Structure 1
């Protein structure tokens, strides 16, 4: 029993729920771990749901199968996760390094469907829940390819430029609401990204020869920092690169001077 005027014990509050797409590997999986460590209830969502289930068991979260290119799959996600405060759009990837004159149209179409339309589908499905949360946060995993270009990268830079435009538009459209929007734009990160893009482990390894790239954990830590700022603080556009990378076309390989 408490005395008059003395507040009683504070009722426990439920942790905020954070959902991460593309959570079966790389930056997505690292982000689930980082957000769980930061106190969030996590939902790992990806096509390879068995990997998400292993991750969920590791961090004490949930796993949901999700194909961001499939409207029915996205609708099922919204039904399975009716309450969410943070959505990290990590599903995406790159295909091919051909010049524009030789580019594969279907590869470009696949990249656009995953990197841009996938974000659109998931955002439309989960925005009502983000609004209901009273402290919503949308995180888009962009890239320095969203504002830089390089030979052989037109398909990927085009979709990441589009994603950058989507983020800036979201900020205007959601202005005045309690929903923050952040784009995290990393440079070279050593994950399955290059393996998927180039098709062989040997070719993927050469991408990082002679330098120390970012790790998935480096990027995940920045995402966790962004979503744990006070509700009035929005880290709008965060760029991070390896020290050896000046921009998308200039990388120093070998010992750094100092």
Structure 2
């Protein structure tokens, strides 16, 4: 995909964005892509060493932020005020993750709570605190990275299904609440994406994580998802992509994945 409206950033002041979860995967790729598009990007995550590497590569501003912590998010708001004079064009909520793959009968409720806190409450906290800056810009976007896990349940996925479904409903309700305001609410729901950490964090074992992609020809990459995010944010502001579901060609549905021997 190519940007359709990034020229607006070059003809006036650059558009501005906060990208959460920017230390790896889709968050990192999105920060890099938006910076390349000409946006001023404040990339945030918990791991400062990875943020330093991102800043060196992309020119993004960075800040260590824990989206589950009120004081940490308050520091983010202060940094937005300092960098962007209290006006912000986009909040890109990527921070999240899946932890564990147990059936409901063996549910690790601490892991479920962690998923809810990071995926749902983290996105809600960051969005709530930055909405005034989005309103002040006169051209705001809230982008939520959910998942196809929000659209269909699967064995061992109930905790993650529930968290991502909660994130979907957060975006859906917010879109209704902001109707008439100059703020779009965009939801991007990826299917199978191969990143360096997602399956490894979820399963805790490199061999098990690699098996998720066994035989799958060209799963999505973080850069594929960043491409879609860039398109959605750079589209003319009267065009709202409410919900974009993006899967690799090999994945027809959650439970239907073409696999070839030897791949």
Establish whether TM, by shorter chain, passes 0.5: yes
Match of 2:130 in 1: 126
TM-score calculated relative to the size of structure 1: 0.93
Match of 1:197 in 2: 202
RMSD: 1.2
Match of 2:191 in 1: 187
Q: Give the gaps of 5 or more residues in structure 2.
A: 1-9, 82-86
1:135 and 1:24 mapped to 2: Cα distance?
26
Asked if 1:14 corresponds to 2:31, the answer is no
Matched positions, count = 245
Q: Give the gaps of 5 or more residues in structure 1.
A: 1-10
TM-score calculated relative to the size of structure 2: 0.91
Match of 1:142 in 2: 146
**Residues 12, 158 of structure 1: alpha-carbon distance in 2 compared, 3 angstrom cutoff:** closer
Q: Secondary structure at the match of 2:260?
A: coil
1:61 and 1:185 mapped to 2: Cα distance?
25
Match of 1:53 in 2: 52
2:90–2:140 contact (8 Å) kept in structure 1: yes
Deviation at 1:12, TM superposition (A): 6.6
1:68–1:121 contact (8 Å) kept in structure 2: yes
Match of 1:178 in 2: 182
1:35–1:42 contact (8 Å) kept in structure 2: yes
Higher relative CO (CA 8 A, sep ≥ 6), structure 1 or 2?
2
Q: Secondary structure at the match of 1:81?
A: helix
Match of 1:86 in 2: 90
The structure 2 residue matched to 1:253, chosen from 246, 249, 259, is 259
Match of 2:61 in 1: 62
Q: Cα deviations across residues 55-84 of structure 1 (Å, max 9, x unaligned)?
A: 122212200111001110001100111232
Match of 2:221 in 1: 215
Match of 1:8 in 2: none
2:32–2:60 contact (8 Å) kept in structure 1: no
